[in-house]
Amino acid sequence: MSIVRYKNKKTGVVTLYESTSHYDPETKQSRPVRKYLGVEDPETGELIPSTKQRGRKKKEGGSDHQPVNRNVTDYRKLYEDALQEIRQKNEIIKEKDTEIKRLNMMISSAIATLSKNK
C-alpha cells in the first residue's frame, strides 16, 4: 500500500490516492487499485480528507430546495390559444372548400352546356 499524488497542471490542485496492487489472472499482470483519499493542502502539505459524498457541495446558509422559477409557462393558456387558432383555420378551410365546390359545379355545368352545343 502506498500514497499516490496527482497534480492537475491547469489548476495546480494535488489529489491523493491510496494505491494497492491487484493481480489480474487474465493478463497475468499486476494492476493498481486506487482509492480516493482527498486533496493536499497547498500551504501545509497535509491531507484534506474527502467527504465521501458525490457531487457539489450545497451552499451554506441556503435552503435545501430549488428556487422557484418565476417565469413559469402557462400551458393551459397556450393550449386554449392553440385550440382557438385551429378552430379559426378550420372555419377558413370550410369556407374555401364550399367556394371551391361551388366553382367546380359552375365549371361542370359550363362544360356540360358546351358539350351539348357541339
pLDDT for 81 equals 93
**Which strand ranges, in their side-by-side order, compose the sheet holding 14-24?**
2-7, 14-24, 29-40, 47-49
Task: Please tell me which residue, 70 or 58, carries the higher pLDDT value.
Answer: 58
**Which pTM was predicted?**
0.43
At 88, list the grid cell: 379559426
pLDDT of residue 67: 60
For residues 51 and 76, is the Cβ–Cβ distance under 8 A?
no
**Backbone phi and psi for residue 56, each to the nearest 5 degrees, phi listed first:** -80, 155
* Matching residue, cell 502506498: 2
Using one digit for the tens of pLDDT, what is the confidence trace for 17-65?
999 999 999 999 999 999 999 999 888 888 888 877 777 777 776 555 5
Q: What is the pLDDT of residues 89-111, one digit of tens each?
A: 999 999 999 889 999 999 999 99
Q: Report the alpha-carbon distance of residue 100 to residue 102 in Å, rounded.
A: 5
pLDDT on residue 117: 76
Residues paired with 116 in a beta bridge: none
